[in-house]
């Protein structure tokens, strides 16, 4: 019994630690050598209706880059929420460079979808000998199966893309697409996303520990 309890607790811990985000595809420039940038600007390009997520996404990404030893900054914190709206490419590049950033990584919300589905009530499958034996047991079991209502659940999927650009030549060095399935909160989404992407960039030798 004790071993079963330990096993159940370990399984519960593993499930609670599972990430809601996963990489669907990623690419890095040929010959990537883990260039050590002086400053990386994290720029979220997210629709107004989901703008509250932007702060969490940028800041957690910044924190994960800093953990590698990079000087990183959030565009939202440095420039405010609307600094890059309706700005042409040249002006945007000049603004980033004037901030001292020699690399920029974008966080783009490509799509967001909601899926609603029905979850039937939980039903016990007991042996017939248990609930057929007496009328009361049979009636209660069958009644619960027929009349206990289920419920509807709405899950949200986010589809993201991040690109790392070297601002010395404006070349694309890394691109990644991910999906996040029904995250617990905006903060947990930001935490998962930053960690996931930074680890992949290190793995692909796009970034190196400073």
Confidence class for position 1, pLDDT limits 50, 70, 90 = very low
pTM of the predicted protein model: 0.74
Residue 4 has pLDDT above 50, yes or no: no
d(CA 74, CA 57): 9
The confidence score (pLDDT) of residue 171 equals 94
64-103 tens-digit pLDDT: 999 999 999 999 999 998 888 888 888 999 999 999 999 9
Over the range 117-140, which residues count as b (16 or more CB within 10 Å of their CB) and which as e?
A: eeeeeeeeeeeeeebeeeeeeeee
φ/ψ of 182, rounded to 5, equals: 45, 60
Structure tokens at 29: 């420039």
User: What confidence category does residue 27 fall into, taking pLDDT thresholds of 50, 70 and 90?
Assistant: very high
Residue 145 pLDDT exceeds 80: no
Q: What proportion of the chain, given as a percentage, has pLDDT over 90?
A: 49
């Amino acid at each position: 019994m004790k071993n079963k309890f330990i096993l159940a607790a370990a399984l519960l811990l593993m499930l609670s630690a599972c990430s809601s985000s996963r990489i669907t595809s990623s690419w890095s420039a040929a010959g990537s050598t883990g260039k050590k940038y002086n400053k990386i600007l994290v720029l979220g390009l997210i629709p107004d209706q989901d703008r509250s997520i932007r702060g969490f996404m940028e800041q957690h990404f910044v924190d994960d880059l800093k953990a590698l030893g990079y000087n990183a900054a959030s565009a939202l914190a440095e420039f405010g929420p609307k600094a890059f709206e309706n700005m042409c490419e040249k002006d945007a590049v000049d603004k980033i460079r004037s901030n001292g950033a020699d690399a920029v990584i974008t966080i783009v919300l490509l799509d967001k979808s909601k899926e609603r589905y029905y979850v039937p009530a939980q039903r016990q499958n007991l042996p017939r000998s248990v609930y057929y034996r007496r009328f009361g047991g049979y009636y209660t079991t069958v009644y619960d199966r027929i009349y206990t209502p289920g419920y509807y659940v709405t899950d949200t999927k986010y589809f993201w893309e991040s690109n790392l650009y070297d601002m010395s030549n404006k070349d694309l060095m890394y691109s990644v697409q991910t999906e996040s399935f029904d995250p617990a909160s905006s903060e947990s989404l930001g935490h998962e996303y930053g960690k996931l992407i930074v680890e992949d960039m290190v793995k692909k030798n796009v970034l190196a520990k400073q």
